Structure 1
């Protein structure tokens, strides 16, 4: 099974290093020195990682045969693809590989369908599920225990308990205006609950 684990950004310096947008939660494993990665477009690779380091919060890689800035710039926007055993799972039962989570159905704790996980974004602060809704829209759901309460791989679903407004911006605006008007004790109670959770 092949998974996109990164995207090459701009060249860094004059010796062939490039910045990389990480798209895996295990960069030390997938993007470490010696790793051989396929590419999209395929003509750019395969690429073998020679060195890697973190500089100002960004991952910098140098590939074998890429010795100068011109060669590095030619790789810009190339996707890096790793071969992953589909049966491979993390040691920690509370952790998951991206390929295990992709295409899971997302439902709320009361059984309402939200959509399907189409992408997982790895941000510096947290991971996000990019969920494709039945109407074609998208919603971003933080992958944190307070919101994603269960990952059921056997049932192929992720169960979420979203805070007010996460899934429906209109609902948040209505609730907010209700709170400002001083009516709606429900809203105040939910606000208290939210504060306790954070």
Structure 2
């Protein structure tokens, strides 16, 4: 599974710099000069899949609240424009959320069992959905396989453990089918 660490928004200037929308909490490490990153190329019209290519970071700097990145071999605006929409990714297996018990990456939650605080099986996390107001756990119900959306807030999800699973204290009707 890949984790997106940035997306090329557009070219900047005439020397091939890229404006990157950062999607990592450690851009200094992920976009350090000399680092190699994988890029998922945008799908060409009519293509069934996008391509993938490795890039070497030549330089990175902050400019007016944005990250500007230079890649080895990309030396002008035309070459930079061709990279618009590229997603920079890393392998999820290379990342963990560390020791903070309240921080998780999505891939660490997918597949965890979900039970009520009383111990009743609810299902298994299929996905984490990020919305502007809050996150949702998409859970495949243990009894009939339907999808249950559970708000990922501490009042409803008081306990998350990478080893024991997720425990929920749902309000009436949340788990009803």
Q: Into which bin does the TM-score normalised by the smaller protein fall?
A: 0.5 to 0.7
The structure 1 segments of at least 4 consecutive aligned residues displaced by more than 6 Å after TM superposition are: none
**Aligned-pair CA distance for 1:112:** 5.0
Query: Are 1:62 and 2:69 an aligned pair?
Result: yes
Write 1 or 2 for the structure with the bigger share of strand: 2
- Does the aligned pair in 1 maintain the 2:159–2:168 contact within 8 Å? yes
Are 1:141 and 2:151 an aligned pair? yes
CA gap of 1:105–1:150, structure 2 versus 1, over 3 A, is same
Equivalent pairs, count: 160
The residue aligned with 2:27 is 28
Could you tell me how far apart the structure 2 residues matched to 1:7 and 1:75 are? 12
Q: Distance between the aligned counterparts of 1:115 and 1:9, measured in 2?
A: 34
Q: TM-score, with normalisation over the residues of structure 2?
A: 0.62
Displacement of 1:150 in angstroms is 1.1
How far apart are residue 9 of structure 1 and its match?
4.2
Contact 1:7 1:80 in 2 (8 A): yes
What is the 5 A alignment of 1:7-18?
7-14=6-13, 15-18=16-19
SS at match of 1:10: strand
Higher relative contact order (CA 8 A, sep 6+): 2
| Distance of 1:91 and 1:54 partners within structure 2 | 32
Taking a change above 3 Å as real, the CA distance of residues 29 and 51 of structure 1, as seen in their structure-2 partners, is: closer
Under a length normalisation based on structure 1, what TM-score does the superposition of the two structures give? 0.57
User: Deviation at 1:93?
Assistant: 3.6
Where does the alignment leave 5 or more consecutive residues of structure 2 unmatched?
42-49
- Shift of residue 75, structure 1, vs aligned partner: 2.3
Higher-helix-fraction structure:
1
Q: 1:74 to 1:122 in 2, by over 3 A?
A: farther
Q: Is the 8 A contact 1:117 1:129 kept in 2?
A: no
Residue 131 of structure 1 corresponds to 138
Task: Identify the residue that residue 160 of structure 2 maps to in structure 1.
Answer: 151
